[in-house]
Structure 1
Amino acid sequence: MAERSLRGARLGTQSFEDERGVEMAPRQEVEYVLPDGKTFTVTMADDAEVPAEWEDPRTGKIGRRVDGDAPEHKEVKAPRTHWDMLLERRSIPELEEILTERLELLRAGEIGPAHLHRPAKVKAKARKR
């Protein structure tokens, strides 16, 4: 077994590359403050667009940039509901008229599922036979 072992290196734990001749990209340290007053720093590229807020890697809380402006708050539009979209197309009196017509058709058995239809009235003459 001693003949098969590799000598002089630990597999997967050591790199033989060195950093001579390698120029690192310019970097900047950006400081963020949490709501409780604690601060943390994030290293970013010099030419990176620095966000106003960043999540603290330790606590998961959102911190604001120390020397930055407050983030712009966008106005949030209220979501449109089906009722809102319906009211864009029809007025309340029109909707009431349509509802009345549809209810009459449903009660007459012309529309809707068969199990909701009322049985037709049997004439008296047909019963006697």
Structure 2
Amino acid sequence: MAGGNAIRGSRVGAGPMGEAERGESAPRRRIPFWCANGHETRVILASEADVPELWDCPRCGLPAGQDQTAPPPAPRTEPYKTHLAYVRERRSDADGDALLQEALDRLRMRRGG
């Protein structure tokens, strides 16, 4: 034995933590959730706690529900849009042409042309 200390990693007065020292644990229940990939997740909640409608699957990250036959669908992800795509949603081609012509006219007037 290197240092002669048989209780290394422990503190004075430490003992086994049991129900007597911690107190009674709250009554619990297991709630099953299923995702669209068929993964089952059992969540342990307190008996009086409200059960959430959805739970994230720890295996695939999809939302999981309590109905095994009809799990919630995967969320639809929108593709990334560029700034130009957002501008095109707000303005028509004719509006864009008019704005471009106005900007070109102002530029020409500043340059003296």
What TM-score, normalized to structure 1? Answer: 0.46
Q: Partner of 2:9 in structure 1?
A: 11
Kept after mapping to 2: 8 A contact 1:32/1:65: yes
Name the SS of the counterpart of 1:33 in structure 2: strand
Name the SS of the counterpart of 2:110 in structure 1: coil
Relative contact order, higher structure (CA 8 A, sep 6+) = 2
Q: Deviations over 1:53-99 (max 9, x none)?
A: 3313xxx223633448755999999x8823444x3xxx766654443
Q: In 2, distance between residues paired with 1:110 and 1:28? A: 75
Q: 1:45 to 1:82 in 2, by over 3 A?
A: farther
Deviating runs (4+, > 6 A) in structure 1? 72-77
Name the SS of the counterpart of 1:64 in structure 2: strand
Instruction: Give 1:52's aligned amino acid.
Output: L
Kept after mapping to 1: 8 A contact 2:63/2:73: no
Q: 1:41 to 1:15 in 2, by over 3 A?
A: farther
Q: In 2, distance between residues paired with 1:55 and 1:25? A: 25
Q: In 2, distance between residues paired with 1:92 and 1:28? A: 60
RMSD: 4.7
Q: In 2, distance between residues paired with 1:97 and 1:42? A: 59
Give 1:44 shift: 1.9
Q: Partner of 2:30 in structure 1?
A: 29
Kept after mapping to 1: 8 A contact 2:27/2:46: yes
Instruction: Give 2:103's aligned amino acid.
Output: R
Percent of aligned pairs sharing the same letter: 18
Structure 1 gaps, min length 5: 112-116, 121-129
Instruction: Give 2:9's aligned amino acid.
Output: L
Q: In 2, distance between residues paired with 1:65 and 1:99? A: 52
Q: In 2, distance between residues paired with 1:37 and 1:30? A: 16
Q: Partner of 1:103 in structure 2?
A: 104
Q: 1:36 to 1:75 in 2, by over 3 A?
A: closer
Q: In 2, distance between residues paired with 1:43 and 1:28? A: 6
